Structure formats: C-alpha cells, structure tokens
Structure 1
Amino acid sequence: MRIRFVSSKLRDLLLPLGVLTLAACASQSVETAQSSDTALSGSADVAADMRMSAPPAVATASAEPVRDTAGFERWIADFRQRAAARGVSSRTLDEAFDGAEFVPRIVELDRRQPEFSRAIWDYLDSAVSDTRVRQGREQLGTYAEEAREAENRYGVPGTIIGAIWGVESNYGSNFGNYETIDALSTLGYDGRRTGFAEEQLYAALKILENGDIDRDRMRGSWAGAMGHTQFIPTSFLAYAVDEDGDGRRDIWASIADVMGSTANYLQKNGWQRGQTWGREVVLPPNFDYAQAELDTRRSTSQWQSAGVRAVDSRGLPSFPAASIIAPAGAHGPAFMVGPNFRTILRYNNATSYALAVGLLSDRLAGASGVYGDWPRTLANLSRTEIKDMQRLLNELGYGTGTPDGIMGPNTRAGLRAFQRANGLTADGYPTHELLRRIRAVAG
C-alpha cells in the first residue's frame, strides 16, 4: 500500500481556481444574521459546512494539520480491517487505498472558523444571478427530456431540479476535483467529525463495490460531496437512481441519473407534487416578528386573516401549514413558505440555501426576482460582535443561551425581548446600531 502526502501548495496548483474558491467557502455557516441553522447533507446529521453550497466568508487562521505519515498509514490499515469486517471486498479495498493520499489542504479547510459571513442578499446575488438564470434555462432546454421524465416520475418540477443543480455545482461546471476517497480518508484521520467522515468513507467504498463509478472518477468537494448535485456517499446509496438504464448510478456524467437522483431525493423526503415552495409576501405594519420562525405554522387563510398579502398578481399559494420567514427582519423582504420549502431544507438545512433554490426555480420558470429591497447598507455583525451581544443580553436578563457567535432562535428571541422592552421594532435582526444600544443599556 502506497500512502502519499500532498502539500497544500501542490494541491492548489493542481486545482482550478474556481474549485478552490468554492471549497474554501464550504467550511462556514451558510446563515448570516437570520439563523443558526445547520445543514443536513442527505440523511446524515452534519453541518452545512460539509457541502459546497455555502456562501463564502472571511476565515481566521487555522491550526496546522497533522503531517504524520506513519500515523495516516496506521489509520488506513485499521480502517481497512473494519471495512473488511463490514463486507467490503479486498479488491475494492485495494482499489481504494493503493496510493491513497493525505491532503493537508482539506484539514485546513475543515478547521477554518469564519469571523464574518456573507449577507444573505450578497449570497442570493450570486446564487440567483442573471447569468445563472440564463445558463439554467439553457441547460433545461438542452436536457428537457431528462427533466420532463424526472418530473413525471417523481413529481418534482424540472425547475427545482435545475435550481439545485445550479446552486450546488453551477450546472456541473464545478463540482470539485478532490478524489473522494482521499478527501474522506483525510477527514477520517484528522478532521473535526471523524465518525461522520468514516461512515461516508465506508459508503464510498460500497459505491465502488457496486460498480457505479471508478475510483479515479469519484470526485467532488473537499468535504466528500460528489457529482453534479453534490450527494454525500450515504445519500448516494439511499437515493441515487439509474435513470438511463445503463446499470450504473452515475451522478458525475449522466444528466438523466443526476436529475432522477435529485428528484428521487426530494420525493423520498416529502416533496408534494403540484405545490410550490413558497412566495414573497407583504407583511402588515403591526406584524409580530416573533411569528416569523419556521416552527410557527399556520394555514394560508390564517396568515391572510393576520394581514399577510401577496406581493404580486400570482396571489398566495394554498398551504395547510405555512411559515413566514424574514431573513433581514423588518429591514427586508418576507416570504411565506410551505412543506416543499422544508423538503428543500432536508437537502441542505440552511434557510438561505432553500430560499436560493426556491427563488432560482421561480426565475428559471420565467418569474421575476425579489420585489422587496434588501438592506444593503447594513453590515453584518462579526462572530465576535454577536458573542458580545449574546453575553450582554444574558447579563440584562434576556436569555440567549451560551454565547457562540451564531444567530439562532434563542438569540433572536432574546434580541426581540430587548427591542420590545426598549420601544423598538422587535424583529430580532442584529445591526451595529442595535449592538451600540445594547452596550449603552448594559453600561
């Protein structure tokens, strides 16, 4: 067994610049000030930073990764034994680990802790850009038959499939160039989630064993997400389909398999045929932003009775259980989202991601963009500033939990309570002006 270490400098030279840019983005939370949501890649409990679809951030320095060749070799030998005990053949193990590489660059990316996150409007500008819309319409035109067959079979609109394809890999132009076995071996040996990485590595071995892909073609992000729509290996085993009937589930080269697998994933996770994901809305002036949480669900008629109105002539979709989300609080647009939005969250449990997919799918279908204005002059708070805000709110009696620098439901609730007590619009959205106010009150 030949084990090699690949320096980060060499790896960077080998990879296209775009791949490195997206890979570097993957190690941080996709949420900005609106949520602390973490993401589920497939059926595994893993944070959003295990996917390539996260918006970029400014990262702080990371610890030096382990470069113990002998230690990596011992880890590979031990993992081989455990995989063999679970039924993986010697042939597959030899194919996978002969010449396996430890890639320090992957450890560096995994350990990055971002100080700043991109504002959601900046993320959406990129994820739902005019260029991406134009390219998506072209791709859906080229692969109209594949999209139509997937929609007919699974009930998921081709525009939703296309939107996920666009957000995840820019329609296959960039799904990463890291060898999946090397990436997951590196993370299994020296990552933050070794147990998760090992389970994904075992699943990747099963994919090789099944003959769906060769090792050299099994490529994707540094975190192990693969192919056009970035399935992690366990999701591949659970949801990938051989749509073109060639005997292989090929999400790297067969667009029929890509579309069928993506639609099957959504259908198996609750996609409701004939329903949209949601729609932009106008909220009444007296709206209680404590109700703008995904856990708060009411029927469309109930929201209408509360003064929620459609923003355009399409009206409001009829949802039995809908939520209102206001990613920028009272400063920006609001949306009413239904069950299919939550299904998109099963693909990646970040509100900004699901919103990007929904809005891009609408644009691909010919709809306009967002009507409301985003507060583009507001700068995001840094992670350190959010931690300071959480600490001060706790001291003032507005419990937010342990300060962690992440805007989650508890922090939004505490912030709304402070705003309410001080005669401010209680939307739970953090701004620098609000932080100054909290500091002044705290003394």
Structure 2
Amino acid sequence: MLPRRPLLSRLAPAALLGLAGAPARAATQDFEAFLAEAAAEARAAGIPDALLRRVLAGLKPNQRVLELDRRQAEFTLSWDQYRAGRINQARIDRGRQAFADNRALLDSLAGRFPVPPRIIVAIWGLETSYGGFTGNFSTIEALATLAWDGRRSAFFRAELMAALRILAAGDVAPERMRGSHAGAMGQPQFMPTSFERWAVDADGDGRRDIWDSRADALGSIANYMAQNGWTAGDRPEAARWGRTVLLPEGFDAGLAGRATRRPLRDWAQAGVTAADGSALPPEDLETSILLPGGPGGQAFAVYPNFHAIRRYNPSDFYALVIGLLSDRVA
C-alpha cells in the first residue's frame, strides 16, 4: 500500500488514478473537497472531531485500490478454474486442522447459532485462509478512495461512514482497521455495514473484534449465516447446503438454474441420483439443479441453505465452493 502523505504532497500522475487529462493538483483539490464533505457528514452524525482529524488528515487516493477495483470487473474464471484455485489439498488439510484446533469454540458457537461448524470453517478458510491473511489496506483509506472515485460512490461513502462509526465505538483501533482493497475487514471479511449488523462479541470482552479475536470472528460468521437464512432443518437432508449429483441421459439443461425450484423427490423421479449413483431422499425439500460448468460438467442439487451462503457472497461459484469445502474439512 502507498504510504500516507499530506494532501498537498505530490500525487501519482492523474492517468494512473483513472483521471487522464485532469491535472494532478486539480485531482488533489477534488479529493480534499470530498474529504471535507465526508468529515462534515460524519461530524453531524456524532463522530468526534479528534477521531476525524486522526484518520482523515493526510489521506490521498490510493492508486493500488483503484487499479484493483478496475481490474475486478474484467476478471472472469471458468467453474473449473475457480474451483481448482480454491479447493486444493493444502486448504483442505489446513481446514481440518483448524476445525480440530478450534473444536471447543466451534461447539460452543453451534449451541448459540443453528449453523454447522463446517460451514463456519469453510467461509473462514475461503475468505482469509483461516485468518492467515486478512488484507493490508487501510480500510479508511480504501473506502475514501473508492467513495471519491465515483464508480460506486454512494455505496462506498455509506461504508466509509459505517467504518468511522465503528472506530468511534472503540471496537478496533484505526491502525488495526485493515482489510481488502474494497473495504472488507478482518477474518470474516465483513464490509463495515455488515459489521454493524452482524458482528458479535463472542468472547465477552466488550468489543466486537473480528481482526484479532478468533471467537468474535467465527461467532460473527455464524451470526451472519443464522440471520441470513441458514436453517438447521428437521431432517438431515434439509440441514445440508446441497450435494453433487448425477443427471440422467438426455437431461434438459434448460431446467438447470436457481430460477427452477422443485421438490427433491421430483428430481429423483426424473432420474437424478446422488453422486455415487444411489437414490436421492424422496423429500419435498425445495431444490434446484446447477450446472456451473455448463452441460456435461459437474451437476449439483442445491437446497435453501445454499441461498443463505449466497447472501454472504452473491455468486453461485462461491456458494458451491463453500459447500464443497465444508464437506471436506469436517
């Protein structure tokens, strides 16, 4: 990350900030004006002046944040590439060890939240490699840069205000509030507004510390999932996210997708089987068939809990990888 400098210091060329054709000094003045407006909004919301001076003084747009933000929209992977890059033996082995090392904590969280420990561990593993890497970007600097940039300014400005409220509440020190280039924070990679809604003080020390408290981090993931639709179910199949399946010859690929939801027993009657060829449970569980790699590739039957995972990250690929990883770590 670029070091913080006084606002009047020399910036990188405007073209590198996505501002081709605009003088660097004008860009600096625009950012100064943005910070002044943001500070006024925060001050009106009760954020202390001393905190605003501490975290906003000397900020400038972070070039690397803007580069990564622009690259993200253009970056696509096939299902095979996405899965292979995220489910490998090293991650599975680390997940099994993390599950074993934190079994007492996970069991205690299972008593509070109707979310399987394996799902908590899988999300933790995919988001930050089981807490091993939570991001090196200053959250305030990253959010200020993105809110000023304009591509999704309203969204990131709201996240910046939430981050300032978190600092004012004392849950984390400014220098420790670090995360991804897009403002996702701590071991669960919560955006600040998600932190405000779903983070919990699982260790009872009076702070919701998703950066350095493993109990708070894993408890917050569990709370997020519980509050966003995960259900324990009254039968073993209903408690799952879904499963890998085999499709009958001649299966109509037009029936695949989250929009088509039928009772699991209907898919079973149509010839869909479990991955080992055994019959699917003849239940009325609402189920969709997904073909993430297209016809002829892997097939999955996904249940209501799959959609709860998608609320953590609205991507079928992501939710499938969480489900598959969870099945392997426990």
Give the distance between the partners of 1:261 and 1:211, measured in 2 at CA: 17
The residue that corresponds to 1:270 in the other structure is 229
**Does the CA contact (< 8 Å) of 1:4 and 1:100 recur in 2?**
no
How far apart in 1 are the matches of 2:284 and 2:129? 31
Paired position in structure 2 for 1:253: 212
Q: 1:264 to 1:4 in 2, by over 3 A?
A: farther
Q: For residues 10 and 90 of structure 2, what CA distance do their matches in structure 1 show?
A: 35
Shift, 1:331, TM fit: 2.1
> Is 1:91 paired with 2:40?
no
SS in 2 for 1:246: coil
Partner of 1:156: 115
Shift of 1:96: 2.2
Q: TM-score, normalising length from structure 2?
A: 0.89
Query: Per-residue CA shift, 1:221-267, capped at 9, x if unaligned?
Result: 00000011100000000000000001110110111001110010000
Residue in structure 2 matched with residue 242 of structure 1 by the alignment: 201
1:405-424 to structure 2, matched below 5 A, reads none
Where do residues 332-347 of structure 1 align in structure 2 (5 Å cutoff)? 332-347=297-312
Q: What is the distance in 1 between the residues matched to 2:242 and 2:167?
A: 39
Specify the code of the residue in structure 2 equivalent to 1:237: E
Three-state SS of the structure 2 residue aligned to 1:256 is helix
For residues 6 and 235 of structure 1, the distance between their equivalents in structure 2, rounded to whole angstroms, comes to 35
Q: Is the 8 Å Cα contact of residues 136 and 178 (structure 2) preserved in structure 1? A: yes
Is the counterpart of residue 117 in structure 1 residue 76 in structure 2? yes
Letter in 1 for 2:7: I
Please name the residue that 1:328 is paired with.
Answer: 293
Structure 1 match to 2:98: 139
Q: Quick one: distance in 2 between partners of 1:220 and 1:109?
A: 14
Tell me the percent identity.
45
Cα distance, 1:265–1:219 mapped onto 2, change above 3 Å: same
Distance 1:5 1:336, change over 3 A: farther
Deviation at 1:116, TM superposition (A): 5.6
CA 1:5/1:147 → structure 2, altered by over 3 Å: closer, same or farther? farther
The correspondence of residues 358-377 of structure 1 with structure 2, limited to 5 A, is: 358-365=323-330
RMSD: 2.3
2:257 counterpart of 1:293: yes
State whether structure 2 residue 266 is matched by structure 1 residue 302.
Answer: yes
Moved more, 324-333 or 221-230: 324-333
**Which sits farther off after the overlay, 297-306 or 237-246?**
297-306
Partner of 2:236: none
> Cα offset for 1:313?
7.2
Higher RCO (CA-CA < 8 Å; seq separation 6+): 1
Output one character per residue of 1:173-224: Cα deviation in whole Å (capped at 9) or x when no partner. Answer: 2221000000001111114100001000000011001110011000000000
The residue that corresponds to 2:246 in the other structure is: 282
Which of residues 222, 235, 239 is equivalent to 2:181? 222
The amino acid of 2:269's aligned partner reads S
String of CA shifts for 1:129-167, please: whole Å, max 9, x gaps.
100000011111111122111122111111101110111
Taking the aligned partners of 2:277 and 2:205, their CA distance within structure 1 comes to 45
Question: Amino acid of the residue matched to residue 306 of structure 2?
Answer: F
Report SS of the residue matched to 2:167: helix
- Equivalent position amino acid for 1:3 in 2: L
Displacement of 1:3 in angstroms is: 3.2
1:364 maps to amino acid: V
Distance 1:84 1:314 in 2: 62
Higher mean C-alpha displacement, 69-78 vs 180-189: 69-78
- 2:314 aligned partner: 349
Counterpart residue number, 1:15: none
Q: 1:238 to 1:319 in 2, by over 3 A?
A: farther
TM-score (norm. length: structure 1): 0.67
For 2:295, what is the secondary structure of its paired residue? helix
- Deviation of 1:91 (Å): 2.9
Structure 1 unaligned regions, length at least 5: 10-60, 366-443
Cα distance between partner residues in 1 of 2:8 and 2:200: 34
What do the CA deviations read for 1:4-47 (whole angstroms, capped 9, x no partner)?
779789xxxxxxxxxxxxxxxxxxxxxxxxxxxxxxxxxxxxxx
SS at match of 1:135: helix
- Pair 1:169-2:128 in alignment: yes
Distance, in Å, in 1 between the alignment partners of 2:109 and 2:278 is: 26
Match of 2:164 in 1: 205
Letter of the structure 2 residue corresponding to residue 168 of structure 1:
E
After superposing the two structures, state which structure 1 stretch, 277-286 or 315-324, moved more.
315-324
- Which segments of structure 1 move beyond 4 Å, counting only runs of 4 or more? 4-9, 64-67, 113-116
Label 1:4 to 1:146 Cα distance change in 2 as closer, same or farther (>3 A): farther
How many equivalent residue pairs? 314
Structure 2 unaligned runs (5+)?
Answer: 234-238
Instruction: Give me the whole-angstrom Cα distance separating, in 1, the residues matched to 2:150 and 2:134.
Output: 21
Distance in 1 (CA, whole Å) between partners of 2:203 and 2:9 is 38
Q: Tell me by how many angstroms 1:64 deviates.
A: 4.7
Amino acid of the structure 2 residue aligned with 1:80: A
